[in-house]
Structure 1
């Protein structure tokens, strides 16, 4: 039987497998024949992405899209449209453009995180409310026409910085009443004048509103109080009947601290009675300072039933031990399957001797989780409790131990060192997490030694593991925090780098060697893990090199440009074919690194390198013949296999 003679249902199943394993190959599959095109069209066209830059470009792009859908008879396959960018006819480019506010490549490196952009300018009333049939509204006519040409739209994702136009809202109401609206730039702009303008209330209470992302602040740059958080809680509690997922990003905008007056009282949204209770399935709270917990959670608990939550994220801030204890004692989350949480000792002013016990109680308060991500202070006792409670059901696990880096914080002499994972810890994960498919964990770099290689080999024992994210940790906080730390180097490397610091030449040499992660080393780590792996094949490995030059609060920054160049990060993916073992290797953040290198070269002209650090570098990597730049002279130390 030939491929073309297979029934449509079987061809569709083949297309679905191709799309799952390697989506770029789906287009090639669809071009092989009319039958394959018909079987794969619903996968190719199910989602449409539109990025808006200006009015003329929007019309041109949508016209081409409509023509393609018509030519291939594929409008019936479109189920999701995502719109990004901004459409402002007369406004100048904003100084706080969110595209520029992101740190380079952060989204490539991190999991479930985004920058809080805490120091950017932010004002509640940044632009007037868009009016029906205005020029701003009519500019969206191409998108409105597209919505009318699509018969079965299920999701509209709106991620534009400009407000949703009335014409687009009307098209959704009339043409797609069952379509879910995901509004990722939601905000009331007119709370400053009491009741919001009628159109803002219409948008906020729109029956199709399913998911929102809100950026807000306690007070904005202009000194105006921002009550968007309070308004969002009231929307959840009945005013937005089908709202199920909420993301709140708390900002700390520049200039807001200049206004010392007491905050005004919140008067409430029109129509809010306080009698209803929301039923959110997903709640993400990002950027709130630790001292706002548990009050913040208590306020949310009055507006939505935590028993309905399936996803909870508390990020870019931190739950203290006391807050975790309060949550464990006062709330239950019987349906929760995904937990993403940042933790903090919160011990700047007071000792917190029961932090570990409180954290254990917190994680034991949840039913069996399927996805868990933790960033913050972790110890072996906390890890034991997590794996005992959730190991059997975890499919995704991210553990990122962290401790405050400042040595002296409000009079406190910090000696905390982040937990370092050992071979036994990895084997513990392997033994208790039998269905684990995705793992993110730090590995301490140790000059590519045999003990480091043994750590990598441990991962091939995790049978279900398909995706691995290794944080290659090059820090050494023991230098400043462990009074017993006294490494013995050879005579020359025993010399101090600088009389003001405790660093020895040998310590800096170790830092340089550990940070040096080139493509050859990345490939070698992949081979060590994937070779002879038990169970499922490893499909993706992400390596993030970080921590170089961190020795505690007294970091020695004079060689930071060397550390930045050496500390490269990589994404390695298996080519999805059974008859070969090919992989693709890509450096993450390469564009930003090369731009930074170019700037550093410009600054280096006419000035000498820092003598001590430079001599250390050259003892490891002497200048190559014909070399014009030190960046071309280094290479990573091979694994001691």
Structure 2
């Protein structure tokens, strides 16, 4: 059977296994493929709201698309969002939770206080007879008419609120706790499927108390009967001042069906260990409290961003049971009890069922990765192993853990034990593109299922880790010149180099292997020295050309190893272009470069003079 003869239903099932770019590619194959892919291409309609003007423009565009009944019948998801790149309803993991959580910006006066704007949105919703998911990704509260329309839908549309906040629960400490009827309806909505709790940072400065954290506990405990995903991002134990939140404030007039939470992401300021006696109850950690309010054994996804100690991990092992857990994201600490932490962590990981996704931040150990691959390798689809945090010793940073850098042996182990890994994040040691470094890239290409690769790039230069900044005056001397040149050559990362790395990995793929879809090449070597914001001009100089880039595969069948490259923006509010522009105009910086570092630059790029190195610098090709 040729692609022209494939039934539309079969094409739709194929699309369910593809990412969005691949769906577009499939739609070009034949008319049947185009018809089958349409349901995925028009699956989501997004309305951006960064101003009243952008909202109206987005609504007008959506109206033009939905004017076709054929297209409107394909829509399953409607998103109203501000500055966020994603939301809790569309993420398959919690890797981006902290980076997208608080991007909502409230427009003064509100947008939906204007009846006409509310009518625009409702008109679009009424056209979507097959709507199944609705994301409200802005700080302004969802209008009561919109919420009522969701409640009237059959079957109920799932409501996702990544910026959840009940505004009337932010009050003066002297005011009684009263819940607005509309916000009570929202908190107990049968449509509410996922929420991300935001921290209104201005409340404390205004002398107000935010009771939202306490309210979320009751919502999780069953006030919202169909809630499945929660991202708790602030200290949810209770206000430090003001009136006490009484249990049942939300639940008292509502039937409770019990918690059905499946995905929990939690970040607090409290330790997770439980109290030693009843008088310590107020200091219980959030997970301990939640454990008493919900069936924690039903969780399939767990993310704890809490700098866990060895005793915390022991509590998770002994007091909790996760029989259906599939995805785990932990932030580990306790660097001064390394041996105990290693034993506790390994025991906890072995107590879990085989995982599909694992991320270990903070502090993990050489024995941990082989143990994980042995226990969960056959089921792993996502494996994220960033550089273990370095800790201070006598006022300096310790050397990086060399075992944490991915080498050929580690990648072979992943190949043998975790053959189905599709997303992989590793840290590597850049060494001017020599044969050893290239061997790592080629070995990565042998991972047959690998589609998305994240490489966190470091360098082994001692003065990057020890903070011996007095050497910056002598970096061009005979004692340090070779090391300085090697560092500059290694950290000079541009589009040509990362494109070459993508090609090296992609060309090592065997026939019929999954293509490499994306490569994120992030230079983290200067993170501890603060990059552009460092107090040292040598670090600023390195930051100018130590660029982080993202590659995405060309969708053309005749160019499977080509990619499109764009710069990675580390912080959503901070553009690398702006940082470099400021540095280019900094006369004091250029004076330092001319006086101390120009011999190094001329050694790397012969012929550069004055400020022209900023235009003439380039990366160096990989070893063949």
| Deviation by residue 1:389-435 (Cα, 9 ceiling, x = unmatched) | 211211111101222354446xxx76463333333222222221122
CA, structure 1 residues 581+150, in 2 after alignment: closer, same or farther (shift >3 Å)? closer
Q: 199-208 vs 631-640, which deviates more?
A: 631-640
| Deviation by residue 1:479-524 (Cα, 9 ceiling, x = unmatched) | 76699xxxxxxxxxxx943489x99444433322221112332233
Aligned to 2:425, the other structure's residue is in SS state strand
Q: Report the alpha carbon displacement of residue 374 of structure 1 after superposing the two structures with TM.
A: 1.3
Counterpart in the other structure of 1:559: 538
- Which structure has greater helix proportion? 2
| Deviation by residue 1:68-124 (Cα, 9 ceiling, x = unmatched) | 323353322211101113xxxxxxxxxxxx779xxxxxx9xx943534999x999xx
CA contact (8 A) 2:385 2:425 kept: yes
CA, structure 1 residues 615+352, in 2 after alignment: closer, same or farther (shift >3 Å)? same
Aligned to 1:472, the other structure's residue is in SS state strand
| Deviation by residue 1:284-323 (Cα, 9 ceiling, x = unmatched) | 113x3463566221011112211111111123x4222221
Q: Report the alpha carbon displacement of residue 50 of structure 1 after superposing the two structures with TM.
A: 0.7
CA contact (8 A) 2:355 2:379 kept: yes
CA contact (8 A) 1:246 1:282 kept: yes
- Cα distance in 1 between the residues matched to 2:589 and 2:388: 40
Counterpart in the other structure of 1:322: 311
Establish whether residue 47 from structure 1 lines up as the match of residue 44 from structure 2: yes
Q: 2:63 aligns with which of 66, 90, 109?
A: 66
Aligned to 1:142, the other structure's residue is in SS state helix
- Cα distance in 2 between the residues matched to 1:278 and 1:343: 28
Q: Report the alpha carbon displacement of residue 450 of structure 1 after superposing the two structures with TM.
A: 2.0
Aligned to 1:440, the other structure's residue is in SS state strand
CA contact (8 A) 1:549 1:557 kept: no
- Cα distance in 1 between the residues matched to 2:242 and 2:408: 53
Within a 5 Å distance, the mapping from 1:115-514 to structure 2 comes to: 115=99, 135-136=113-114, 139-176=117-154, 178-191=156-169, 192=171, 193-216=176-199, 220-250=204-234, 265-272=244-251, 277-286=258-267, 288-289=268-269, 291=271, 295-315=285-305, 317-345=306-334, 347=336, 351=337, 353-408=339-394, 415=398, 417-418=400-401, 419-474=404-459, 476=461, 496-498=471-473, 504-514=480-490
| Deviation by residue 1:216-244 (Cα, 9 ceiling, x = unmatched) | 37973323332322211111112111111
Aligned to 2:148, the other structure's residue is in SS state helix
Aligned to 1:354, the other structure's residue is in SS state helix
CA, structure 1 residues 37+371, in 2 after alignment: closer, same or farther (shift >3 Å)? closer
Counterpart in the other structure of 1:94: none
- Cα distance in 1 between the residues matched to 2:134 and 2:20: 23
CA contact (8 A) 2:397 2:467 kept: no
Counterpart in the other structure of 1:585: 564
- Cα distance in 1 between the residues matched to 2:63 and 2:464: 62
CA contact (8 A) 1:290 1:319 kept: no
CA, structure 1 residues 438+251, in 2 after alignment: closer, same or farther (shift >3 Å)? same
Q: Say which structure, 1 or 2, has more relative contact order (CA 8 Å, 6+ apart).
A: 1
- Cα distance in 1 between the residues matched to 2:426 and 2:126: 47
Q: Report the alpha carbon displacement of residue 176 of structure 1 after superposing the two structures with TM.
A: 4.5
CA contact (8 A) 1:337 1:369 kept: yes
* CA root-mean-square deviation: 4.1
Aligned to 2:124, the other structure's residue is in SS state helix
Establish whether residue 522 from structure 1 lines up as the match of residue 498 from structure 2: yes
CA contact (8 A) 1:137 1:166 kept: no
| Deviation by residue 1:35-85 (Cα, 9 ceiling, x = unmatched) | 666444323322111112444653454344334323353322211101113
- Cα distance in 2 between the residues matched to 1:2 and 1:365: 48
Aligned to 1:22, the other structure's residue is in SS state helix
CA, structure 1 residues 370+469, in 2 after alignment: closer, same or farther (shift >3 Å)? same
- Cα distance in 2 between the residues matched to 1:202 and 1:45: 31
TM-score w.r.t. length of structure 1: 0.80
Flag structure 1 segments of 5+ consecutive residues without an equivalent: 86-97, 101-106, 253-258, 484-494
Q: Report the alpha carbon displacement of residue 151 of structure 1 after superposing the two structures with TM.
A: 1.2
- Cα distance in 1 between the residues matched to 2:11 and 2:374: 44
Q: Report the alpha carbon displacement of residue 194 of structure 1 after superposing the two structures with TM.
A: 0.8
Aligned to 1:380, the other structure's residue is in SS state coil
Q: Report the alpha carbon displacement of residue 603 of structure 1 after superposing the two structures with TM.
A: 1.9
- Cα distance in 1 between the residues matched to 2:342 and 2:545: 36
| Deviation by residue 1:228-273 (Cα, 9 ceiling, x = unmatched) | 2221111111211111110122289xxxxxx9x7565322352536
TM-score w.r.t. length of structure 2: 0.82
Aligned to 1:156, the other structure's residue is in SS state strand
- Cα distance in 1 between the residues matched to 2:129 and 2:351: 45
Aligned to 1:342, the other structure's residue is in SS state strand
| Deviation by residue 1:20-42 (Cα, 9 ceiling, x = unmatched) | 5534446766xx86x66644432
Within a 5 Å distance, the mapping from 1:99-110 to structure 2 comes to: none
CA contact (8 A) 2:425 2:455 kept: yes
- Cα distance in 1 between the residues matched to 2:97 and 2:600: 36
Aligned to 2:552, the other structure's residue is in SS state strand
- Cα distance in 2 between the residues matched to 1:499 and 1:532: 42
Q: 17-26 vs 385-394, which deviates more?
A: 17-26
Aligned length: 584
CA, structure 1 residues 364+566, in 2 after alignment: closer, same or farther (shift >3 Å)? same
Counterpart in the other structure of 1:90: none
CA contact (8 A) 1:84 1:160 kept: yes
Q: Report the alpha carbon displacement of residue 129 of structure 1 after superposing the two structures with TM.
A: 11
- Cα distance in 1 between the residues matched to 2:434 and 2:450: 24
Q: Report the alpha carbon displacement of residue 608 of structure 1 after superposing the two structures with TM.
A: 1.0
Establish whether residue 22 from structure 1 lines up as the match of residue 12 from structure 2: no
Aligned to 1:512, the other structure's residue is in SS state helix
Counterpart in the other structure of 1:539: 516
Q: Report the alpha carbon displacement of residue 127 of structure 1 after superposing the two structures with TM.
A: 9.0
| Deviation by residue 1:465-488 (Cα, 9 ceiling, x = unmatched) | 2222211213546876699xxxxx
- Cα distance in 1 between the residues matched to 2:195 and 2:473: 52
CA contact (8 A) 1:216 1:251 kept: no
CA contact (8 A) 2:73 2:130 kept: yes
